[in-house]
Amino acid sequence: MIEENSHEGESLKKVSGLYKDWFLDYASYVILDRAIPSVYDGFKPVQRRIMHSMRELEDGRYNKVANIVGNTMKYHPHGDASITDAMVGIGQRELLIDTQGNWGNIYTGDSAAAARYIEARLTPFALEVVFNPKTTEWAKSYDGRNNEPIDLPVKFPLLLAQGVEGIGVGLSTKILPHNFNELITASVAYLKGKKFEIFPDFLTAGFLDVSEYNDGARGGKVRARAKISQVDKHTLMISELPFSKTTSDLIDSILKANEKGKIKIKKIEDNTSDKVEILIYLHNEVSPDKTIDALYAFTDCQVTISPNACVIVGDKPMFMSVSEILKMNTDHTVSLLKKELELRIFDTIDATKVAVANEKFYANFEEGFIGTSLKKDQYLFDCSDIDDIITFRKDGSMKVVKVEAKTFIGKDIQHVAIWKKNDKRTVYNMIYREGRDGPYYMKRFSVTGVTRNTDYPLASDKKGSEMLYFSANPNGEAEVVTVLLKPNPRIRKNKMEIDFSELAIKGRDSKGNLVTKYSVKKVDLKEEGVSTLAPRKIWFDETVRRLNADVRGTLLGNFKGDDKILTINAQGEAKLVSFDLGNRFDDEYLVLEKWRPNQPVTCIYYDGEKDIYFIKRFLLENNTNVQTFMPSENPKSFIERIIVSNNATAEIIFAKDKGKERDPESINIDEFIA
């Protein structure tokens, strides 16, 4: 309460009680909004805001950390340095952030490069486990302009996997990191009602004594030791660090112990890079075994760590054990999975995937026009009026445009196709010349995201750059080409072969690998390629009779390389076709499935001319021609059954012969006919 006394125009205010309230407000703010993580997603507020910001910017490509930090400041108004430090900490744990560039060294303690030099994107694990806007509770950001998650819907005990350390007002937290696989095993055991036990596990390795761990609760402790081995009788090597210590910490503590006479060493070397290697050289009269014991006793080669699992549950800090945290995380994961299932049913439909291809698309490659109205020019494909079209020109430039009646792209168009955002399976193979007289380069790339109506110089922005070879491969195929050089007295061999499967698939802006610095006459295709990508799941939608990769219809299987689809119609015509999603299957088929080259096909058919049933078994040849296997052309002939599996049986039911009935016979087809 504020009391006021006045005397001759002056006033005196008593502010007793105000500081008490302010301090409590400040303490609550630091504990809840700065230092202590939530038990549900394992993040402090700054970490949660970084992850939310990264998901907001996610397009499959790396983003500059400086850009991510800038975007995060919409949600976290505490300066870019604190956000950068927190993001580097997450990245160094190698679980949620896919890093690129110098992100520092957890062994030496070296700091990361400046935020403008390093890049990041979310890992597939983070994209799968951390986010779901439909099960996320949202709140307004500090300025009311944006929404931010109260907790991210993490379906994993992330808090225990990453560990955390923070100091609030009047309390602190220290949760040690645990082994990824052991956490999953423990969660499964808990769900099955079985006992479990989990212990810390560190990226820096080392030895650990957990006899007094006390389940990670207050009052427990662990002892972490460096791994010290004897190289020879005068040399020791430290190859693993105790948790929370760097090579600099260890070396400083060893030098101090040496100065105090606790140990005797000749010199010490730090050869650490991606692996820890500290070499300790001893005097001739010093025992290596005794020195190892002394290092553990008097230096940071052995440290004692006191865990203190304090977390935010709801809006209150609570002290818990790691087993209690795991149980709570596991129950929360089950709850989130249940919510996701309750929400399979009326999901958002991507209009571009279900739009009817009701437009015919044409191109004038020489003059540089494309569109739906150029009916006198070359027909390319059917498309919908909401599709995007990707184009490539001879100068190596690329542009994506909307479907229009007529669009000018530029002269010498080399390739036109329908483009899908985030399509990582379509891979473009390319050989180009840099400038008018520059060297020749080759590269493979995909195009996952662009700005429409923008020219992208894929070859080079140098004047006179030219594309000599180009192929678009819907399933990441990699062909072999022959490069013929112009006659030159400096070179003996004027022909070379290039196998695109040996090239890594990189971003579209990459320069690629050098082919040659000499003039190229031409590039010819020598051999068709097969896919270099992981198998792709393909479904068949029986309603529209089309293939898709969008989980619609019947799953045909995982396809890669030169895998094919087998179709057999009622006329006994078998055909092998590729799994290109553009293939049409308008006819009715007795069989439509993934082709297995070594799987015999069995056909039971009635020969109308001979008035008798036949069984035929055969293997299909690997070609795209129509293969007919019902020899009878009599109009009364028909196929009774097609079987594409082993150990099949057929039952023969006989007609009455002179009033006598014959019992049915069952035959094993594999044994009956070769």
Task: Cite the active site residues.
Answer: 117
CA atoms in the 13 A half-sphere facing the CB of 48? 29
The answer to whether 391 and 365 are in contact (CB under 8 A) is no
Please choose, from the candidates 594, 597, 565, the residue with its C-alpha nearest in 3D space to the C-alpha of residue 582.
565
Sheet holding 359-364, edge to edge: 378-383, 359-364, 369-371, 407-408
Q: How many CB atoms lie within 10 A of CB 200?
A: 21
Please give the single-letter amino acid code of residue 540: F
Distance CA 559, CA 595 (A): 10
Residue 651 backbone phi and psi in degrees, to 5: -105, 125
489-495 long-range contacts (CB < 8 A, ≥24 apart) are: 490/518, 491/518
Structure tokens at 502: 């040996």
303: left (phi over 0), alpha (psi -120 to 50) or beta: beta
The distance in angstroms from the start CA to the end CA of the chain is 101
Q: Which residues contact 529 (CB under 8 A, 6 or more apart)?
A: 473, 477, 478, 479, 480, 500, 501
Distance of CA 640 to the CA centre of its chain: 47
Residue 638 backbone phi and psi in degrees, to 5: -160, 160
Distance CA 206, CA 106 (A): 14
Please choose, from the candidates 577, 600, 596, 595, the residue with its C-alpha nearest in 3D space to the C-alpha of residue 587.
577
Distance CA 559, CA 576 (A): 14
Distance CA 363, CA 416 (A): 8
Distance CA 294, CA 258 (A): 10
71: left (phi over 0), alpha (psi -120 to 50) or beta: alpha
The answer to whether 614 and 607 are in contact (CB under 8 A) is yes
Distance CA 567, CA 397 (A): 40
476: left (phi over 0), alpha (psi -120 to 50) or beta: left
Task: Determine the 3-state secondary structure of 444 from DSSP.
Answer: strand
The answer to whether 87 and 64 are in contact (CB under 8 A) is no
Please give the single-letter amino acid code of residue 168: G
Task: Determine the 3-state secondary structure of 88 from DSSP.
Answer: helix
Task: Dump strand ranges (E) for 213-367.
Answer: 222-225, 227-232, 235-240, 267-270, 278-281, 302-305, 310-313, 316-319, 359-364
> In the block, which residue shows the tokens 């196929």?
639
Structure tokens at 446: 């995909």
Distance CA 553, CA 515 (A): 45
Residue 143 backbone phi and psi in degrees, to 5: -100, 0
Structure tokens at 662: 């014959």
**Helices and strands (H and E) in the chain: how many:** 12, 46
The answer to whether 502 and 538 are in contact (CB under 8 A) is no
Distance CA 615, CA 533 (A): 40
Please choose, from the candidates 568, 615, 574, the residue with its C-alpha nearest in 3D space to the C-alpha of residue 591.
568
Task: Determine the 3-state secondary structure of 619 from DSSP.
Answer: coil
> In the block, which residue shows the tokens 């910490």?
249
